Amino acid sequence: MATNTAAPPESTAAPASSGDVGGPRPDAHGRARRQRRGWLAWLWLVLGVVYTPVLVVMVLSFNASRYGTLPFAFTAEWYVALAGNDALISATGRSLVLSTSVAAVAAALGTALALWMVRFARSGATLFTALLTTAITIPWLILAVAMLLVANAVGVGRGLPLLFLGSLAVAMPYVVLVVVARLQGLGTELEQAARSLGARPLTAFRLVTLPLIGKSVLSGTLLAFIITFNNFPIHFFLAPFGFNTLPMEIYTFVLSGYDPDINALATVLISVAVGLGLVLLAVARRRGGDATATSRLQEMWG
């Protein structure tokens, strides 16, 4: 840009201008470099806001001080305490069972629903997609209170069925939306090609469509799991009394005073999550060594 606008006035003196063409370039490079630095700083700031507290918690889980004071003195004391904290451990168990079962049902029903919407609902697909998209924008707190209200009115009340149903209703739209997007991108020609080569409808689905939407189903299921695991408002309002999920248990602990064994639990959970993420990344990268990690990630999440 800079060279183009600078050239015309000097073009009468051809030899001179050819010498000047090189002039503005280092400047442009300098600006690009400054811009790059600016964006990188911004990126690190955002990452820092997320990761600093996490790292602090992880460090503190190994710190001997009960109140998080320095100097740092290594201890595994809090992990021992965590192992003896039955309330936290059983709450973790409840949360895992709830999230896993909700994610599994959301995966199966959500994928089936997505297939029906794309293949058979025709003009309805856009309406359903819009309704589901709207559904995931409703604040969970309001949704949870409203669900409890209706449940009480029809005489169901708090309980495991209501907790499961409420969690499923919140989590399943994510599976449907992710899989619908993938199916729409896939089109019907691949399945038609398989049919024309002699595959019955179910065989064509199993050998062609399913492998190609597999990553989207997996990422939708993971989303459903994470959302169910974290969904404090839904747990708080819909779970039967005495059935404390992990977020509820942590909330109770924090209210009554903070013990560093919560830090230890947080460290364990984060490690599991990061480990799971790395495994998924490795799985996604397995086929085709040429593609970059980021493109595989995009594929996985979309």
Q: What b/e sequence results for 175-209 when a residue is b if at least 16 CB atoms lie within 10 Å of its CB, and e otherwise?
A: bbbbbbbbbeebeeeebeebeeeebeeeebeeebb
What residue spans of 76-209 are helical by DSSP H?
77-84, 86-119, 124-137, 140-153, 160-186, 189-196, 201-204
Q: Which of 199, 226, 280, 300 binds another protein (CB under 8 A)?
A: 199
Residue 78: count of CB within 10 angstroms of its CB: 23
Smallest separation (angstroms) from another protein to the CB of 104: 24
Cβ proximity to another protein, 151 vs 208, nearer residue: 208
| Nearest distance in Å: CB 175, another protein | 21
State yes or no: residue 211 binds another protein (CB under 8 A): yes
Q: Check residue 294 for interaction with another protein (CB under 8 A).
A: no
What angle separates helix 2-10 from helix 24-60, to the nearest 10 degrees? 170
CB–CB of 47/250 below 8 Å? no
Q: Name the nearest CA neighbour of 259 among 122, 93, 61, 103.
A: 61
Task: Output the six-digit token pair for 228.
Answer: 């169910």
Q: Which is nearer to another protein, 86 or 290 (CB)?
A: 290
Does 288 engage in binding with another protein (CB under 8 A)? Answer: yes
C-alpha to C-alpha distance for 159 and 282, rounded to whole angstroms: 39
Nearer to another protein, 35 or 203 (CB): 203
Q: Which is nearer to another protein, 242 or 289 (CB)?
A: 289
Please pick, from the candidates 9, 15, 26, 198, the single residue that binds another protein as defined by CB under 8 A.
198
Compute how many residues bind another protein; rule: CB under 8 A: 19
Verify binding: residue 257, another protein, rule CB under 8 A.
Answer: no
Q: Which two tokens stand for residue 299?
A: 């594929």
3-state secondary structure of 118: helix
Q: Is 289 near another protein (CB under 8 A)? A: no
Stretch of 89-97, 166-174, 206-214, 263-271 contacting another protein, by CB under 8 A: 206-214
Instruction: Pick from 208, 222, 264, 284 the residue near another protein by CB under 8 A.
Output: 208
* Stretch of 27-35, 143-151, 204-212, 272-280 lying at the interface with another protein (CB under 8 A): 204-212
Residue 112, C-beta contacts closer than 8 angstroms, at least 6 positions apart: none
Quick check: helix, strand or coil at residue 214? Answer: helix
Q: Which stretch binds another protein (CB under 8 A): 63-71, 184-192, 244-252, 253-261?
A: 184-192
Q: Which has the closest alpha carbon to 32: 2, 61, 64?
A: 2
Considering only 134, 203, 295, 298, the residue that binds another protein (CB under 8 A) is 203
292 binds another protein (CB under 8 A): no
Write out the residues near another protein by the rule CB under 8 A: 187, 189-190, 192-200, 203, 208, 211-212, 287-288, 290
